[in-house]
Amino acid sequence: MRVLVTGGAGFIGSNIAKEINKLYPTAKVYVLDNFSSGHFKNLIGFKGEVITGDIKDPELWEYIEKNFQFDVIFHEAAITDTTVQDQFLMMKTNSDSLRYVLNCALKWKAKVIYASSAGVYGNSSPPMREDRGLTPENVYGFSKLIMDQIALNFVQEYPDLKVIGLRYFNVYGPGESFKGKTASMVYQIYLQIKQDKRPKLFKWGEQRRDFVYIKDVVKANLLAMEKDVSGVFNVGSSQARSFNEIVQIINGLLGKNIEPEYIDCPYDFYQNYTQADISKAREILGYSPEYSLEEGIEEYVKFLQGL
Ligand SMILES: NC(=O)c1ccc[n+]([C@@H]2O[C@H](COP(=O)([O-])OP(=O)(O)OC[C@H]3O[C@@H](n4cnc5c(N)ncnc54)[C@H](O)[C@@H]3O)[C@@H](O)[C@H]2O)c1
Protein backbone atom coordinates (compact mmCIF):
# COMPACT_ATOMS: atom_id res chain seq x y z
CA MET A 1 0.00 0.00 0.00
CA ARG A 2 1.28 3.45 -0.93
CA VAL A 3 -0.10 6.31 1.13
CA LEU A 4 0.17 10.07 0.73
CA VAL A 5 -0.62 12.31 3.71
CA THR A 6 -0.86 15.98 2.77
CA GLY A 7 -0.38 18.25 5.77
CA GLY A 8 1.51 15.34 7.30
CA ALA A 9 3.79 17.60 9.35
CA GLY A 10 0.72 19.04 11.05
CA PHE A 11 -1.21 17.91 14.08
CA ILE A 12 -3.72 15.47 12.60
CA GLY A 13 -1.68 14.48 9.51
CA SER A 14 1.38 13.46 11.53
CA ASN A 15 -0.75 11.33 13.84
CA ILE A 16 -2.32 9.61 10.82
CA ALA A 17 1.06 9.04 9.12
CA LYS A 18 2.61 7.52 12.25
CA GLU A 19 -0.42 5.31 12.94
CA ILE A 20 -0.25 3.95 9.37
CA ASN A 21 3.44 3.17 9.98
CA LYS A 22 2.45 1.25 13.09
CA LEU A 23 -0.56 -0.65 11.75
CA TYR A 24 0.71 -1.26 8.22
CA PRO A 25 4.48 -1.62 8.59
CA THR A 26 4.99 -2.52 4.93
CA ALA A 27 3.05 0.48 3.62
CA LYS A 28 5.09 3.19 1.89
CA VAL A 29 4.08 6.46 3.49
CA TYR A 30 4.82 9.92 2.08
CA VAL A 31 4.08 13.24 3.71
CA LEU A 32 3.51 16.37 1.62
CA ASP A 33 3.82 19.67 3.48
CA ASN A 34 5.06 23.24 3.16
CA PHE A 35 5.75 23.49 6.92
CA SER A 36 3.68 26.65 7.28
CA SER A 37 1.84 25.52 10.42
CA GLY A 38 3.33 22.03 10.71
CA HIS A 39 6.69 21.17 12.22
CA PHE A 40 9.37 18.57 11.54
CA LYS A 41 9.28 17.63 15.22
CA ASN A 42 5.81 16.16 14.68
CA LEU A 43 7.52 13.69 12.34
CA ILE A 44 10.17 12.43 14.72
CA GLY A 45 9.69 8.65 14.62
CA PHE A 46 7.91 8.78 11.23
CA LYS A 47 9.15 6.10 8.86
CA GLY A 48 8.70 7.45 5.39
CA GLU A 49 9.56 10.25 3.02
CA VAL A 50 8.68 13.92 2.84
CA ILE A 51 7.72 15.83 -0.31
CA THR A 52 8.13 19.53 0.36
CA GLY A 53 5.78 21.78 -1.53
CA ASP A 54 2.67 23.91 -1.66
CA ILE A 55 -0.67 22.22 -2.35
CA LYS A 56 -1.92 25.20 -4.32
CA ASP A 57 0.92 24.86 -6.83
CA PRO A 58 -0.29 23.00 -9.97
CA GLU A 59 3.30 22.23 -11.00
CA LEU A 60 3.83 20.34 -7.76
CA TRP A 61 0.83 18.13 -8.54
CA GLU A 62 2.09 17.55 -12.10
CA TYR A 63 5.40 16.42 -10.63
CA ILE A 64 3.68 14.16 -8.08
CA GLU A 65 1.33 12.68 -10.66
CA LYS A 66 4.23 11.84 -12.98
CA ASN A 67 6.65 10.52 -10.41
CA PHE A 68 4.49 8.75 -7.84
CA GLN A 69 1.56 6.42 -7.58
CA PHE A 70 -0.56 6.26 -4.43
CA ASP A 71 -3.41 3.98 -3.40
CA VAL A 72 -4.72 6.19 -0.61
CA ILE A 73 -4.51 9.95 -0.06
CA PHE A 74 -5.27 11.52 3.30
CA HIS A 75 -5.67 15.20 2.44
CA GLU A 76 -5.14 17.21 5.64
CA ALA A 77 -3.14 20.21 4.37
CA ALA A 78 -5.02 23.48 4.63
CA ILE A 79 -4.97 26.94 6.11
CA THR A 80 -6.16 25.90 9.55
CA ASP A 81 -6.30 29.34 11.18
CA THR A 82 -10.05 30.01 11.09
CA THR A 83 -9.49 33.76 11.66
CA VAL A 84 -7.66 34.26 8.33
CA GLN A 85 -9.90 36.52 6.28
CA ASP A 86 -8.02 36.59 2.96
CA GLN A 87 -10.77 34.95 0.91
CA PHE A 88 -8.66 34.43 -2.22
CA LEU A 89 -5.87 32.71 -0.33
CA MET A 90 -8.24 30.58 1.76
CA MET A 91 -10.22 29.37 -1.25
CA LYS A 92 -7.11 28.75 -3.38
CA THR A 93 -5.39 26.79 -0.64
CA ASN A 94 -8.26 24.84 0.87
CA SER A 95 -10.86 24.38 -1.85
CA ASP A 96 -8.99 24.54 -5.18
CA SER A 97 -6.26 22.16 -4.05
CA LEU A 98 -8.81 19.39 -3.57
CA ARG A 99 -9.31 19.41 -7.35
CA TYR A 100 -5.60 18.65 -7.85
CA VAL A 101 -5.85 15.83 -5.32
CA LEU A 102 -8.92 14.37 -7.03
CA ASN A 103 -7.32 14.68 -10.44
CA CYS A 104 -4.37 12.56 -9.26
CA ALA A 105 -6.76 10.11 -7.57
CA LEU A 106 -8.55 9.67 -10.87
CA LYS A 107 -5.27 8.81 -12.64
CA TRP A 108 -4.14 6.44 -9.91
CA LYS A 109 -7.60 5.02 -8.97
CA ALA A 110 -6.74 6.08 -5.44
CA LYS A 111 -9.05 6.49 -2.51
CA VAL A 112 -9.26 10.00 -1.00
CA ILE A 113 -10.05 10.85 2.60
CA TYR A 114 -9.99 14.60 3.13
CA ALA A 115 -10.42 16.88 6.14
CA SER A 116 -13.60 18.88 6.18
CA SER A 117 -14.76 20.75 9.26
CA ALA A 118 -17.58 21.52 11.67
CA GLY A 119 -16.94 25.10 10.51
CA VAL A 120 -19.38 24.38 7.67
CA TYR A 121 -22.23 24.56 10.22
CA GLY A 122 -21.47 28.01 11.68
CA ASN A 123 -24.04 28.82 14.33
CA SER A 124 -26.78 26.59 12.99
CA SER A 125 -28.80 24.71 15.58
CA PRO A 126 -27.21 21.67 17.21
CA PRO A 127 -26.85 18.75 17.01
CA MET A 128 -25.26 19.31 13.61
CA ARG A 129 -26.24 16.83 10.95
CA GLU A 130 -24.46 16.40 7.62
CA ASP A 131 -27.46 17.40 5.51
CA ARG A 132 -28.60 20.60 7.18
CA GLY A 133 -27.54 23.94 8.69
CA LEU A 134 -24.76 24.53 6.15
CA THR A 135 -24.25 28.19 7.04
CA PRO A 136 -20.55 28.86 7.69
CA GLU A 137 -19.68 32.00 9.64
CA ASN A 138 -16.25 32.54 8.11
CA VAL A 139 -14.38 31.91 4.86
CA TYR A 140 -12.56 28.97 6.44
CA GLY A 141 -15.89 27.16 6.99
CA PHE A 142 -17.00 28.20 3.52
CA SER A 143 -13.79 26.79 1.96
CA LYS A 144 -14.54 23.43 3.62
CA LEU A 145 -18.16 23.48 2.45
CA ILE A 146 -17.00 24.03 -1.13
CA MET A 147 -14.55 21.11 -0.71
CA ASP A 148 -17.53 18.94 0.22
CA GLN A 149 -19.39 20.11 -2.88
CA ILE A 150 -16.36 19.50 -5.13
CA ALA A 151 -16.09 15.97 -3.70
CA LEU A 152 -19.79 15.31 -4.16
CA ASN A 153 -19.71 16.40 -7.81
CA PHE A 154 -16.61 14.28 -8.38
CA VAL A 155 -18.16 11.07 -7.03
CA GLN A 156 -21.31 11.70 -9.02
CA GLU A 157 -19.16 11.83 -12.14
CA TYR A 158 -16.88 8.95 -11.15
CA PRO A 159 -18.95 6.68 -8.88
CA ASP A 160 -16.29 3.95 -8.90
CA LEU A 161 -13.86 6.21 -7.08
CA LYS A 162 -14.24 6.56 -3.34
CA VAL A 163 -13.95 9.97 -1.67
CA ILE A 164 -14.72 10.54 1.99
CA GLY A 165 -14.90 13.92 3.73
CA LEU A 166 -14.58 13.92 7.51
CA ARG A 167 -16.04 16.96 9.25
CA TYR A 168 -13.87 17.12 12.32
CA PHE A 169 -15.23 19.01 15.31
CA ASN A 170 -12.74 20.40 17.90
CA VAL A 171 -9.75 18.09 17.89
CA TYR A 172 -7.22 18.09 20.76
CA GLY A 173 -4.25 15.97 21.76
CA PRO A 174 -0.53 15.33 21.25
CA GLY A 175 0.96 17.02 18.18
CA GLU A 176 -0.99 20.26 18.26
CA SER A 177 1.51 22.43 20.15
CA PHE A 178 3.09 23.86 16.97
CA LYS A 179 -0.28 25.36 15.99
CA GLY A 180 0.35 28.12 18.55
CA LYS A 181 -2.68 30.33 19.02
CA THR A 182 -4.82 28.07 16.83
CA ALA A 183 -4.21 25.01 19.02
CA SER A 184 -7.25 23.70 20.90
CA MET A 185 -8.82 25.35 23.95
CA VAL A 186 -7.80 22.25 25.92
CA TYR A 187 -4.13 22.98 25.17
CA GLN A 188 -4.44 26.76 25.74
CA ILE A 189 -6.17 26.29 29.08
CA TYR A 190 -3.64 23.64 30.15
CA LEU A 191 -0.71 25.98 29.38
CA GLN A 192 -2.19 28.84 31.39
CA ILE A 193 -3.19 26.79 34.45
CA LYS A 194 0.17 25.00 34.41
CA GLN A 195 1.90 28.40 34.68
CA ASP A 196 -0.49 29.47 37.48
CA LYS A 197 -2.07 32.02 35.15
CA ARG A 198 -5.82 32.62 35.05
CA PRO A 199 -7.07 31.06 31.80
CA LYS A 200 -8.64 33.69 29.57
CA LEU A 201 -12.11 32.73 28.33
CA PHE A 202 -14.57 34.69 26.27
CA LYS A 203 -17.47 35.82 28.49
CA TRP A 204 -18.77 33.72 30.29
CA GLY A 205 -17.03 30.49 29.39
CA GLU A 206 -20.33 28.76 28.72
CA GLN A 207 -19.73 28.40 24.98
CA ARG A 208 -20.05 24.71 24.23
CA ARG A 209 -18.03 22.71 21.75
CA ASP A 210 -17.82 19.14 20.66
CA PHE A 211 -14.25 18.24 21.67
CA VAL A 212 -12.86 15.07 20.12
CA TYR A 213 -9.62 13.35 21.07
CA ILE A 214 -6.99 12.87 18.34
CA LYS A 215 -7.01 9.07 18.74
CA ASP A 216 -10.72 8.96 17.85
CA VAL A 217 -10.05 11.17 14.81
CA VAL A 218 -7.22 8.94 13.58
CA LYS A 219 -9.47 5.93 14.06
CA ALA A 220 -12.20 7.58 11.98
CA ASN A 221 -9.66 8.11 9.17
CA LEU A 222 -8.59 4.47 9.24
CA LEU A 223 -12.20 3.28 9.22
CA ALA A 224 -12.82 5.55 6.24
CA MET A 225 -9.83 4.00 4.47
CA GLU A 226 -11.20 0.50 5.00
CA LYS A 227 -14.78 1.18 3.90
CA ASP A 228 -15.82 1.04 0.27
CA VAL A 229 -18.06 4.11 0.42
CA SER A 230 -18.13 7.81 -0.47
CA GLY A 231 -19.69 10.64 1.47
CA VAL A 232 -19.30 13.28 4.13
CA PHE A 233 -19.35 12.33 7.80
CA ASN A 234 -19.24 14.18 11.12
CA VAL A 235 -16.36 13.20 13.38
CA GLY A 236 -16.92 14.41 16.93
CA SER A 237 -17.56 13.01 20.37
CA SER A 238 -21.29 13.87 20.10
CA GLN A 239 -21.07 15.78 23.43
CA ALA A 240 -21.14 19.58 23.76
CA ARG A 241 -18.94 20.65 26.68
CA SER A 242 -18.17 24.13 27.97
CA PHE A 243 -14.84 25.94 28.29
CA ASN A 244 -15.58 26.33 32.03
CA GLU A 245 -15.76 22.53 32.28
CA ILE A 246 -12.31 22.19 30.70
CA VAL A 247 -10.91 24.62 33.29
CA GLN A 248 -12.46 22.50 36.02
CA ILE A 249 -11.11 19.20 34.63
CA ILE A 250 -7.56 20.54 34.18
CA ASN A 251 -7.56 22.21 37.61
CA GLY A 252 -8.56 18.83 39.06
CA LEU A 253 -5.80 16.95 37.24
CA LEU A 254 -3.10 19.49 38.18
CA GLY A 255 -4.32 19.85 41.78
CA LYS A 256 -5.07 23.57 41.35
CA ASN A 257 -8.06 25.83 41.72
CA ILE A 258 -7.45 28.73 39.33
CA GLU A 259 -10.45 30.80 38.29
CA PRO A 260 -10.84 31.87 34.66
CA GLU A 261 -10.61 35.50 33.63
CA TYR A 262 -13.49 36.44 31.35
CA ILE A 263 -12.79 38.75 28.42
CA ASP A 264 -14.86 40.13 25.55
CA CYS A 265 -14.96 38.03 22.38
CA PRO A 266 -13.37 40.07 19.56
CA TYR A 267 -14.90 37.98 16.76
CA ASP A 268 -18.27 38.48 15.15
CA PHE A 269 -18.02 35.05 13.47
CA TYR A 270 -17.54 32.88 16.52
CA GLN A 271 -19.14 29.44 16.84
CA ASN A 272 -20.87 29.39 20.23
CA TYR A 273 -22.20 25.88 20.29
CA THR A 274 -21.19 22.83 18.31
CA GLN A 275 -22.32 19.27 18.76
CA ALA A 276 -21.97 16.51 16.21
CA ASP A 277 -24.73 14.13 15.34
CA ILE A 278 -22.53 11.11 14.61
CA SER A 279 -25.24 8.63 13.68
CA LYS A 280 -24.22 8.59 9.99
CA ALA A 281 -20.55 7.89 10.82
CA ARG A 282 -21.61 5.25 13.35
CA GLU A 283 -23.84 3.47 10.89
CA ILE A 284 -21.74 3.63 7.72
CA LEU A 285 -18.14 3.84 8.95
CA GLY A 286 -18.60 1.95 12.24
CA TYR A 287 -17.17 5.01 14.04
CA SER A 288 -17.64 5.08 17.79
CA PRO A 289 -15.59 7.57 19.83
CA GLU A 290 -13.80 5.94 22.74
CA TYR A 291 -12.71 8.97 24.73
CA SER A 292 -14.94 11.13 26.91
CA LEU A 293 -13.61 14.66 27.48
CA GLU A 294 -12.41 13.62 30.94
CA GLU A 295 -10.56 10.56 29.59
CA GLY A 296 -9.05 12.41 26.65
CA ILE A 297 -7.81 15.32 28.76
CA GLU A 298 -6.42 12.96 31.40
CA GLU A 299 -4.39 11.02 28.82
CA TYR A 300 -3.29 14.26 27.14
CA VAL A 301 -2.22 15.95 30.37
CA LYS A 302 -0.12 12.88 31.24
CA PHE A 303 1.55 13.20 27.84
CA LEU A 304 2.16 16.93 28.34
CA GLN A 305 3.62 16.29 31.79
CA GLY A 306 5.96 13.70 30.24
CA LEU A 307 4.44 10.92 32.35
N1 LIG B 1 -7.69 20.51 14.55
C2 LIG B 1 -9.01 20.67 14.45
O3 LIG B 1 -9.71 20.84 15.46
C4 LIG B 1 -9.67 20.62 13.09
C5 LIG B 1 -11.06 20.78 13.04
C6 LIG B 1 -11.69 20.73 11.80
C7 LIG B 1 -10.96 20.52 10.65
N8 LIG B 1 -9.61 20.41 10.72
C9 LIG B 1 -8.88 20.20 9.47
O10 LIG B 1 -7.98 19.13 9.64
C11 LIG B 1 -6.82 19.32 8.83
C12 LIG B 1 -5.57 19.22 9.68
O13 LIG B 1 -5.60 20.24 10.65
P14 LIG B 1 -4.59 20.29 11.87
O15 LIG B 1 -5.36 20.58 13.09
O16 LIG B 1 -3.71 19.10 11.83
O17 LIG B 1 -3.78 21.61 11.52
P18 LIG B 1 -2.23 21.87 11.23
O19 LIG B 1 -2.13 23.33 10.96
O20 LIG B 1 -1.41 21.30 12.31
O21 LIG B 1 -1.98 21.03 9.90
C22 LIG B 1 -2.08 21.54 8.61
C23 LIG B 1 -0.84 21.15 7.87
O24 LIG B 1 -0.95 21.58 6.50
C25 LIG B 1 0.25 22.22 6.12
N26 LIG B 1 -0.08 23.20 5.07
C27 LIG B 1 -0.79 24.34 5.22
N28 LIG B 1 -0.87 24.98 4.04
C29 LIG B 1 -0.18 24.22 3.14
C30 LIG B 1 0.10 24.37 1.76
N31 LIG B 1 -0.32 25.43 1.06
N32 LIG B 1 0.83 23.41 1.15
C33 LIG B 1 1.27 22.33 1.85
N34 LIG B 1 1.04 22.14 3.15
C35 LIG B 1 0.31 23.08 3.80
C36 LIG B 1 0.78 22.86 7.37
O37 LIG B 1 2.16 23.14 7.32
C38 LIG B 1 0.42 21.81 8.41
O39 LIG B 1 1.45 20.85 8.54
C40 LIG B 1 -7.00 20.67 8.17
O41 LIG B 1 -7.53 20.47 6.87
C42 LIG B 1 -8.02 21.37 9.05
O43 LIG B 1 -8.76 22.34 8.34
C44 LIG B 1 -8.95 20.45 11.92
Residue pLDDT, tens place only, 198-236 = 999 999 999 999 999 999 999 999 999 999 999 999 999
Asked if 222 and 264 sit in the same domain, the reply is: no
Question: Are the C-beta atoms of residues 214 and 174 closer than 8 Å to each other?
Answer: yes
**DSSP per-residue codes, 55-69:** TT-HHHHHHHHHH--
Parallel, antiparallel or unpaired: strands 49-52 and 72-75: unpaired
In total, how many domains does the chain have?
Answer: 2
Q: How far is CA 239 from CA 128, 129, 157, 169, 272, in A?
A: 11, 14, 36, 11, 14
4, 6, 11: residue to mutate for ligand 1 pocket, most atoms within 8 A of CB? 11
Asked if 138 and 13 sit in the same domain, the reply is: yes
Asked if 111 and 199 sit in the same domain, the reply is: no
Parallel, antiparallel or unpaired: strands 28-33 and 49-52: parallel
Q: Which of 196, 205, 276 is nearest to 246 (CA)?
A: 205
Structure pTM? 0.98
Asked if 141 and 268 sit in the same domain, the reply is: no
Does ligand 1 lie within 6 Å of residue 56's CB atom?
yes
Q: Which atom of ligand 1 is nearest to the CA of 55?
A: 32
Percent of the chain scored above 90 by pLDDT? 97
18 is catalytic: no
Phi/psi at 115 (5° precision): -90, 115
Residue pLDDT, tens place only, 154-199: 999 999 999 999 999 999 999 999 999 999 999 999 999 999 999 9
Cα–Cα distance measured from residue 250 to residue 303, given in angstroms and rounded to the nearest whole number: 13
Asked if 116 and 225 sit in the same domain, the reply is: yes
Parallel, antiparallel or unpaired: strands 163-168 and 111-117: parallel
Asked if 69 and 107 sit in the same domain, the reply is: yes
Asked if 195 and 246 sit in the same domain, the reply is: yes
Asked if 297 and 156 sit in the same domain, the reply is: no
Q: What average pLDDT is seen over the chain? A: 97
Does ligand 1 lie within 6 Å of residue 13's CB atom?
yes
pLDDT band at 271 (very low <50, low <70, confident <90, very high): confident
| Residue 185 belongs to domain spanning | 173-209+239-274+292-304
Residue pLDDT, tens place only, 9-27: 999 999 999 999 999 999 9
Residue 170: its pLDDT value, please?
Answer: 97
Dump strand ranges (E) for the chain: 2-6, 28-33, 49-52, 72-75, 111-117, 163-168, 170-172, 200-202, 208-209, 211-213, 231-235, 241-242, 261-263
Residue 270: its pLDDT value, please?
Answer: 80
Cα–Cα distance measured from residue 228 to residue 72, given in angstroms and rounded to the nearest whole number: 12
267 is catalytic: no
pLDDT band at 126 (very low <50, low <70, confident <90, very high): very high
Asked if 269 and 121 sit in the same domain, the reply is: no
Asked if 88 and 38 sit in the same domain, the reply is: yes
Asked if 180 and 121 sit in the same domain, the reply is: no
Residue 68, CB-side half-sphere exposure with 13 Å CA sphere: 26
CA torsion 179-199-140-155 (nearest 10°) is 70
